[in-house]
Amino acid sequence: MHTLFVRAASLAILAGGLLMPVSALADPTSDTGTLVGAVTCGPDEDAPASHIVVSASGTQVQTVTDSTGKFMLVGVPAGQTFRIEAIADPEASVTTSRFNVSVQSGETLDIGSMDLAVCGQPVTPAPVQDDQPADFGQG
């Protein structure tokens, strides 16, 4: 009888030990949420601001607004407070921020519209001049 009890207890400990690593290996991204919103610009703050960088300060989480000024920040750490920034130009001379933004695990939170004072200009490549030969790396 004592041997049966020892075997049953050993089996229970082994089974519990096998289940423990599953929870330890749980996906760490499950502790994140998603922020959505829009960026507008101009004097009436109704023009969509496209191609604007939007980021959660202190993280690597960032995105670019689409042609309608909308954005989606995926993977924002849950349960923390962030400043969300919209940056209109590479020099960061025109920005707008939303302070004290927090998202819960698995939540998609709409933070509404963020308004820039002026519209940003997307970076465009320099035009190729017709009078210069193309350089294709051939010596």
Q: What are phi and psi of 90, to 5 degrees?
A: -60, -25
| pTM metric for this prediction | 0.65
Q: How confident is the model at residue 21 (pLDDT cuts 50, 70, 90)?
A: very low
Say which CATH number the domain at 41 has. 2.60.40.1120
The residue behind tokens 């970076």 is: 123
39 occurs within a structural domain: yes
pLDDT at residue 110, as a whole number: 98
16 occurs within a structural domain: no
Return the closest-CA partner of residue 34 out of 75, 84, 70: 75
123 occurs within a structural domain: no
Report whether 108 contacts 33 (CB < 8 A).
Answer: yes
Q: What value does the mean pLDDT take over residues 104-128?
A: 79
Could you list the residue range(s) of the whole structural domain that residue 73 is in?
28-116
**Number of domains the chain contains:** 1
pLDDT at residue 93, as a whole number: 85
pLDDT at residue 121, as a whole number: 64
pLDDT at residue 13, as a whole number: 53
For the four alpha carbons of 63, 84, 61 and 113, in that order, the dihedral sign comes to negative
Rounded Cα gap, residues 4 and 111, in angstroms: 61
